[in-house]
């Protein structure tokens, strides 16, 4: 038996990274003639290297000329190509080595050692190498990969190479760490779950000619540091194909998500109930930092179906290019948007609105154009959509029509197209029935235009409301949703029963009608004004609001200014509604300089009294006497008078005149009545006839909050308890 030792050797290859193992076989081939002659050959190399790799401490042992020729290669350390790291204690054992005509073949070889980031390995390998042609065939099995197992097979020759990879039960968290040198998760992101990967690729030298992959995953949890993106128990499949197209890449991909849950602020979707399928094909253009999606389709059973094209911007390191829009342009055909399924995407957008608990049923379809990350146009047809809010804010039955919306720039482009008819800008909306804050709406039909942040009603319309209606002659809005919002409204309120309104709103029910005009309402610079008075017929009398002004009407703290005139209210209707105790007669008055902040009064000068010349029957009940006296500060004396003597036998009393005034400033109400009382104080009720009862107020300065509490107590069932 003979041994051959070489002190050092600089080895080369034909320039491809797969030839590191081939080079080791080539080294073994150097000693093959000696082995044939003497049976066993051994060669030791201090170092060997080639393009992209180098090795140290190489020992090759060959046993030939026997029935079981075998080979062993040991490498103390090898630097692998690219980011594959360093292999240590590498040992390759071929139990049966075949060699003829320059062809070297080994089946069921064993490879063990520390293989860079793959860690400790004990794998099985089949390989063939032709020393003359440089052709290589390999099949590597049982590779430990990120908690799972993988198999890598392929061929390589000068004409090209091909390879396949099959990996199962891969831990995605471990795989993400393993892939860190090439591509990693964004900072703060985490991933968990298991996956199976099947991939194939072919190319020439370092150039990829084609690649395909299918990733199947289950129980995947993904989250970012902010919590704005997350998944739970996500299951699905991703398929992709990639091929070069000059300097670019052509791709096709499919995604299926049949299970698990996903959240992308503010949308949460249960894919177990609404499985999602996506398809896309197009061209990846790295030089232009662009992804052109020539076609895509998205389908979520029970929610939506859409197709279209898109041009997307890719992330770059350039500061200016990095601010470019992610969606440069996208044309989307909404084949169907089905409710309630699509509500998963719409509901989160309504959480801060009165419609946050709303539901929908039905379908819509249309076209959407996105330019520079923003909507540019919208053309949507509604096919009998039903909307309902259990809280009663808003509801529509069989909502239908066609809504066309353009941003300002796109509308200008469309308007310049002579072939575009005028009705390209016209929208229509109709419903069979509706409800607004509990008030029933009848069928209506609107014809309007909308673009940018503007809206204009094209024709007068009447919206039936309860037993009356709202007749709108003019309605225009601009800059909607901005501090510069502008509005013009001319409308008439056709007589509506106040009893129906109060019943719908859950208020105490009382009679009368409300009718009148809403003249020249205008909203400019955050202030809503009216070109005339607002009038309402209530409680058998009339209420007129003049000089009405509302600041910041859509803001957090609206402020209202007006003066109210009240004429000939029927006190029996008023007191009967609020369970104050019965009073008959009439009441007129005025609330001047009324100011409300966040709908709470902060200033006014109010005065109400029996009108001069009132010839109606004027009576007041014991309960009303008690409530009025409590408000005026004389409750104890009146209560004692009513409970003792002859007074207790009378349920009502006649009066000559009643009234009360309050001037509110700085949360203090300066009070007075219909005249001064002889012994001080002021008359709230000046009695008449026998038995006569007067109600005299003693306190001329009362805290407004205390007065409100007294009024609330007085209108509750049972009245005020005087102690």
Phi/psi of residue 573, nearest 5 degrees: -70, -40
Domain range for 12:
1-165
Q: What is the DSSP string of 162-220?
A: EEEEEEEEEEHHHHHHHTTTT--PPTT-EEEEEEEEEEEEEEETTEEEEEEEEEEEEEE
Residue 351 burial (10 A CB sphere; 0-12, 13-18, 19+):
exposed
In 3D space, the residue among 585, 561, 563 whose CA is nearest the CA of residue 572 turns out to be 585
* pLDDT value for 312: 93
Residue 581 included in any domain: yes
* pLDDT value for 633: 54
Q: What is the 3-state secondary structure (H, E, C) of 674-711?
A: CCECCCCCEEEEEECCCCCCCEEECCCEEEHHHHHHHH
* pLDDT value for 644: 46
> Where is the domain boundary, 115, 140, 165?
165
* pLDDT value for 341: 92
Angle at Cα 220 formed by Cα 217 and Cα 226, nearest 5°?
140
User: Left, alpha or beta for 644 (phi > 0: left; psi -120 to 50: alpha)?
Assistant: beta
Look at strands 190-204 and 207-223 and give their pairing: antiparallel
* pLDDT value for 66: 64
Give the DSSP H/E element, type plus range, for residue 301. none
pLDDT lower than 70: segments of the chain:
1-39, 65-66, 317-325, 354, 392, 413-421, 507-508, 510-511, 554-555, 579, 631-650, 712-723
Tell me the sheet residues that pair with 194: 171, 218
CA distance 482 to 555: 11
Structure-derived torsion over alpha carbons of residues 662, 666, 667, 669, reported in degrees to the nearest 10? -20
* pLDDT value for 408: 84
Angle between helices 622-632 and 704-714 (to 10 degrees): 170
DSSP H helical ranges for 316-363: 343-346
Cα 469 off chain centre by: 36
* pLDDT value for 325: 64
* pLDDT value for 411: 77
Long-range interactions of 101-108: CB distance < 8 A, separation 24+: 102/130, 102/131, 102/132, 102/133, 103/128, 103/129, 103/130, 103/131, 104/25, 104/28, 104/29, 104/128, 104/129, 104/130, 104/131, 105/129, 106/71
Residue 648 included in any domain: yes
Residue 229 included in any domain: no
Residue 583 included in any domain: yes
Residue 428 included in any domain: no
User: pLDDT per residue over 26-60, tens digit each?
Assistant: 555 554 554 444 467 888 889 988 888 899 999 99
Structural domains in the chain (count): 2
Angle at Cα 580 formed by Cα 653 and Cα 437, nearest 5°?
150
Residue 487 included in any domain: no
Residue 223 burial (10 A CB sphere; 0-12, 13-18, 19+):
middle
> Where is the domain boundary, 137, 165, 193?
165
Q: Would you say the C-alpha torsion 218, 339, 268, 273 has a positive or negative sign? A: negative
Question: What is the DSSP-derived secondary structure letter of residue 349?
Answer: G
- The answer to whether the peptide bond before residue 691 is cis (omega within 30 degrees of 0) is yes
Cα 699 off chain centre by: 56
> Where is the domain boundary, 165, 182, 197?
165
Residue 128 included in any domain: yes
Local structure of 39: helix, strand or coil: coil
Residue 562 included in any domain: yes
Phi/psi of residue 553, nearest 5 degrees: -65, -25
Neighbours of 450 (CB within 10 A): 19
């Amino acid at each position: 038996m003979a041994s051959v030792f070489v002190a050092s050797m600089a080895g080369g290859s034909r320039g491809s990274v797969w030839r590191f193992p081939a080079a080791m076989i080539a080294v073994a081939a150097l000693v093959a003639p000696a082995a044939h002659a003497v049976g066993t050959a051994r060669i030791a190399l201090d170092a060997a290297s080639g393009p992209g790799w180098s090795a140290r401490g190489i020992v090759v042992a060959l046993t030939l000329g026997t029935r079981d020729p075998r080979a062993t290669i040991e490498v103390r350390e090898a630097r692998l190509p690219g980011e594959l790291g360093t292999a240590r204690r590498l040992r390759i054992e071929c139990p049966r080595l075949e060699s003829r005509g320059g062809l070297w073949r080994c089946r069921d070889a064993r490879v063990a050692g520390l293989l860079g980031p793959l860690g400790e390995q004990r794998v099985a390998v089949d390989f063939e190498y032709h020393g003359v042609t440089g052709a290589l065939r390999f099949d590597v099995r049982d590779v430990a990969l990120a908690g799972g197992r993988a198999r890598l097979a392929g061929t390589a020759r000068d004409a090209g190479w091909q390879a396949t990879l099959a990996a199962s039960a891969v831990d995605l968290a471990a795989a993400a760490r393993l892939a860190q040198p090439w591509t990693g998760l964004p900072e703060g992101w985490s991933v968990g779950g298991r996956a199976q990967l099947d991939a194939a690729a072919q190319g020439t030298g370092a150039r990829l000619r084609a690649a395909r992959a299918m990733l199947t995953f289950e129980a995947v949890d993904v989250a970012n540091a902010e919590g704005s993106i997350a998944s739970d128990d996500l299951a699905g499949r991703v398929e992709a194909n990639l091929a070069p197209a000059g300097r670019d890449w052509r791709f096709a991909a499919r995604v299926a998500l049949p299970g698990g849950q996903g959240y992308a602020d503010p949308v949460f979707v249960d894919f177990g109930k609404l499985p999602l399928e996506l398809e896309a094909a197009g061209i990846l253009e790295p030089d232009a930092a662009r992804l052109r999606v020539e076609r895509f389709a998205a389908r979520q059973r029970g929610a939506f179906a859409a197709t279209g094209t898109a041009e997307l911007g890719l992330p770059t390191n350039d500061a200016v290019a990095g601010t470019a829009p992610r969606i440069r342009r996208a044309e989307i055909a909404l084949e169907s948007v089905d409710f309630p399924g699509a509500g998963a995407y719409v509901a989160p957008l309504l959480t801060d609105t009165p419609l946050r608990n709303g539901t929908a049923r039905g379908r819509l379809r249309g076209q959407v154009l996105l330019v520079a990350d923003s909507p540019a146009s919208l053309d949507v047809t509604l096919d009998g959509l039903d909307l309902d809010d259990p809280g009663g804010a808003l509801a529509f039955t069989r909502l239908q029509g066609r809504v066309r919306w353009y941003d300002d720039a796109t509308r200008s482009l469309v308007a310049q197209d002579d072939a575009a008819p005028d009705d390209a800008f016209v929208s229509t909306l109709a419903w069979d029935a509706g409800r607004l804050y509990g008030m029933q709406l009848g069928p209506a039909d609107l014809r309007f235009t909308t673009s940018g942040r503007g809206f204009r009603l094209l024709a007068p319309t009447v919206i039936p409301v309860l037993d009356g209606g709202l007749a709108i002659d003019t309605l225009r809005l601009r800059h909607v949703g901005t501090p510069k919002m502008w509005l013009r409204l001319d409308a008439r309120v056709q007589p509506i029963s106040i009893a129906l309104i109060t019943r719908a709103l859950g208020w105490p029910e009382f009679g009368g009608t409300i009718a009148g005009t809403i003249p020249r309402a205008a909203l400019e610079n955050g202030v809503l004004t009216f070109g005339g008075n607002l009038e309402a017929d209530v409680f058998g009398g009339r209420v007129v609001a003049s000089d009405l002004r509302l600041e910041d009407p859509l803001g957090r703290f609206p402020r209202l200014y007006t003066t109210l005139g009240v004429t000939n209210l029927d006190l029996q209707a008023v007191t009967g509604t609020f369970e104050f105790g019965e009073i008959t007669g009439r009441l007129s008055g005025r609330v001047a300089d009324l100011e409300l902040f966040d709908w709470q009064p902060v200033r006014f000068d109010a005065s109400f009294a029996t009108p001069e010349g009132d010839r109606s029957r004027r009576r007041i009940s014991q309960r009303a006497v008690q409530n009025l006296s409590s408000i005026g500060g004389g409750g104890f004396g009146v209560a004692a008078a009513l409970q003792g003597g002859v007074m207790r036998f009378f349920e009502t009393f006649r009066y000559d005149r009643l009234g009360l005034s309050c001037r509110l400033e700085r949360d203090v109400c300066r009070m007075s009545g219909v005249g001064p009382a002889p012994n001080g104080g002021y008359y709230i009720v000046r009695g008449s006839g026998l038995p006569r009862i007067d109600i005299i107020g003693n306190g001329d300065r009362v805290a407004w909050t205390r007065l409100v509490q007294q009024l609330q107590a007085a209108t509750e069932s049972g009245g005020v308890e005087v102690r």
